[in-house]
Amino acid sequence: MAIPLTLFDKIWHSHLVDVQEDGTCLIYIDRHLVHEVTSPQAFEGLRLAGRRVRRPAWTLAVADHNVPTTDWSNSIADDESRLQVETLARNCNDFDIEFLHVNDVRQGVVHVVGPEQGFTLPGTTIVCGDSHTSTHGAFGALAFGIGTSEVEHVLATQTLLQKPAKNMRVRVDGMLRPCVTAKDIVLAIVGRLGTAGGTGHVIEYDGQAIRNLSMEERMTVCNMSIEAGARAGVIAPDDKTFTYLAGLPRAPRGAAWEKALAYWQTLRTDVQARFDSTVTLQAADLVPQVTWGTSPEDVVPITGHVPDPTLATESSKRRAMLRSLAYMGLTPGTPMTDIRIDRVFIGSCTNGRIEDLRKAAAVVRHRVVAPWVDAMVVPGSGLVKAQAEAEGLDRIFREAGFSWRKPGCSMCLAMNADRLSPGQRCASTSNRNFEGRQGREGRTHLMSPLMAAAAAITGYLTDVRSL
Amino acid sequence: MVQQRHAGLKKFTVLTGVAAPLPMVNVDTDMIIPKQFLKTIQRSGLGRNLFHDMRYDHNEKERPEFILNQGIYRQAAILVTGDNFGCGSSREHAPWAILDFGIRCLVAPSYADIFFNNCLKNGILPLLLPQEHVNTLMEAAECGGARATMTVDLERQEVRVSHHRIISFAVDPFHKYCLMEGIEDIGLTMKKAHKITAYEEVQCHTRPWL
């Protein structure tokens, strides 16, 4: 009898080009997403070595990281940002790669664009010079972030040198309570595993609460796998996956679709497959989650308090907590809902999709943003923006006092003009609360779109269930 | 011009230099090189801004309390640090900045996966040691003076601390080979082009929808 395999094992084995004696594997890459920040040196490397792109048609490029969220259809004011975007355009032209430019409605955050276009497919290997490539694992793809040298390696050879990962299963059993979302699930998971808990592993998410999630919600969960240190996160494809994919521009059609579907339906972990570790959460135990510190593992329920570092058992952890508290300007024991905010950011590859905007708009409707709060919505792509506008969501946000922007990564990493001033505190739907992430000395609290919307209204971190 | 691209991929054999202590866990790549320096289209010149926000104040003046602004540590070639170094963003600008500063070897109990790979691609040795050995090297680094100077011998797989203390380490044989020879792995993979082509032909039949 064949050895039972996990979903990760199956995708891995089906992409082996070569295995060296020492166990290093050469794996084939089916889909390569490229953006402006981590690719210029890779293309330059190709040029200097006289190499070409092996499979331009399996490569898709878009500018997202440092584009303005104000109108840039004519030009980008920032010289360096403009040069990077122009360099990407030139590289794509020279190497025959499709580039979704500013005036293309499909332009947006790379991890929103890939799934929207059907570029992301089950059972594929997907890479991008961006750690949040794990997002695409929601489709049952093996998707992970790589550095620029590896971007060059994939461009030149369509392969990567890798060691196999370990298998971890994270089960979320039962049903979520109202107002508790995919973001709360993944924040709770990162809080439980810690920021290095998944190192060397691919996490497979499973259980009733995961199966109940929509495709967009599954993307939110897989997106933050990297925040637990995991190489990737995967969710077995099911009917929701296939329904989502049907008809997307780059998804297979006709006979090819039928053949693909038959294969995709085999993409699940065998019953007897062995995981190196398993973690189980009960969905019903979860309430909305927020972060208090400067690591995504610094998670507390909104009903909780700023933790006390003197209770930490390890000295390294205690030192890190003290540093975080000082940076965040917080006092241990403070109820989380007493924390006043200055800014709200709704967007990013974690939570910049249409369902996220609908949820946030439902909270915001007929309400106004607190007078001291500067709130913005940055749709994940031009298509998300257009859909939201067709549904009138932009009006709801604008009337409440939100600023309605053009798509991009924006204040998730603050490479463009959208950033926090020193000391400003932000309720953010993004994925990282590192020191300086949203602007030097800016203070980030991560949460769901529902929770960020609630914070915008009250001006404090708020339990959305109490609104 | 090819040399320019690979100028950074120096062979790593024996490295003797000052080790700087950075006793922090979870140092993320945003800390190593903040986003405003990712707008470059080159690999060089990032060393000045390594650990920017910890190293400089708002007026871009050095913060004297930061280790790399102090005495011999300005010439650090080795960095001793805590668990999960390099977590977060995949930006290869982080190892580029480390290398450009002059650091060629890191010592920590664990690293984030993407960062670890990125180091290897740039001729940086991310040394993995058990916490107790990291502590020993951290103490030596913190002593300053001659004790902070150590030798990392990749061939013999040992770290020699000035006062005759030797700590041996494990390293993946393929990583060791690539570092010691200064191997650029795209060239290695190109030699397997026939295997890649064979894979593509099979895939074309088994998964034609791709």
Residue A376 CB: number of other CB atoms within 10 A? 19
How confident is residue B1, by pLDDT bands cut at 50, 70 and 90?
Answer: very low
**Nearest-CB residue to B88 (from A152, A414, A432):** A432
How confident is residue B163, by pLDDT bands cut at 50, 70 and 90?
Answer: low
In chain A, which residues have their Cβ closer than 8 Å to the Cβ of B207?
123, 260, 263
Q: Are strands A443-446 and A343-346 parallel, antiparallel or unpaired?
A: unpaired
Which of B9, B37, B41, B110 has the most A C-beta neighbours within 10 Å, making it the best mutation to test the interface with A? B41
- CA atoms within 13 Å, Cβ hemisphere of B60: 2
pLDDT of A2 reads 84
- For the domain made up of B14-182, give the CATH fold: Aconitase; domain 4 (3.20.19)
Tell whether A184 lies on the interface with B, counting CB pairs under 8 A.
no
pLDDT of B184 reads 87
Alpha-carbon distances, residue A330 vs A159, A322, A337, A441, A443 (angstroms): 47, 10, 12, 14, 10
CB contact under 8 A, B208 and A30: no
CB-CB contact of A153 with A159 (8 Å): yes
CB contact under 8 A, B189 and A159: yes
Instruction: Provide DSSP, B140-188.
Output: HHHH-GGGGEEEEETTTTEEEETTTEEEE----HHHHHHHHHT--HHHH
Tell whether A424 lies on the interface with B, counting CB pairs under 8 A.
no
- Give domain limits for chain B: 14-182
Per-residue pLDDT of chain A (467 residues; tens, 9 = 90+): 689 999 999 999 999 999 999 999 999 999 999 999 999 999 999 999 999 999 999 999 999 999 999 998 888 999 999 999 999 999 999 999 999 998 899 999 999 999 999 999 999 999 999 999 999 999 999 999 999 999 999 999 999 999 999 999 999 999 999 999 999 999 999 999 999 999 999 999 999 999 999 999 999 999 999 999 999 999 999 999 999 999 999 999 999 999 999 999 999 999 999 999 999 999 999 999 999 999 999 999 999 999 999 999 899 999 999 999 999 999 999 999 999 999 999 999 999 999 999 999 999 999 999 999 999 999 999 999 999 999 999 999 999 999 999 999 999 999 999 999 999 999 999 999 999 999 999 999 999 999 999 999 999 999 999 99
Tell whether A413 lies on the interface with B, counting CB pairs under 8 A.
yes
How far is C-alpha A67 from the chain's CA centre? Answer: 18
Q: In what order do the strands lie in the sheet with A425-428?
A: A403-404, A374-377, A343-346, A425-428, A443-446
pTM for this entry: 0.97
Q: Look up residue A2 and give its DSSP letter.
A: P
**Closest alpha carbon to A144 in A63, A205, A62, A203:** A203
pLDDT of A1 reads 65
| Angle at which helices A382-390 and A354-364 cross, to 10° | 40
CB contact under 8 A, A295 and B113: no
Nearest CA in chain A to B122: A149
Q: Which amino acid is at A368?
A: V
Q: Is the pLDDT of residue B94 over 50?
A: yes
pLDDT of B6 reads 47
CB contact under 8 A, B41 and A414: no
Task: Give every CB contact of residue A438 below 8 A, 6+ residues apart in sequence.
Answer: A345, A411, A412, A413, A414, A419, A420, A426, A428, A430, A444
Q: Are strands A166-173 and A201-206 parallel, antiparallel or unpaired?
A: parallel
**Nearest-CB residue to A149 (from B40, B118, B203):** B118
pLDDT of A212 reads 98
- Chain B residues 56-85 within an 8 A CB cutoff of chain A: 58, 82-84
CB contact under 8 A, A157 and B41: no
- Chain B residues 137-196 within an 8 A CB cutoff of chain A: 172-174, 185-186, 189-190, 192-193, 195-196
How far separated are the first and last CA of chain B, in Å rounded? 37
pLDDT of B164 reads 78
In chain A, which residues have their Cβ closer than 8 Å to the Cβ of B190?
156-157
Tell whether B38 lies on the interface with A, counting CB pairs under 8 A.
yes
For A320, the enclosing helix (H) or strand (E) is helix A315-328
Which of B59, B186, B199 has the most A C-beta neighbours within 10 Å, making it the best mutation to test the interface with A? B186
- DSSP β-bridge partners for residue B158: B153, B168
**Nearest-CB residue to B41 (from A22, A40, A413):** A40
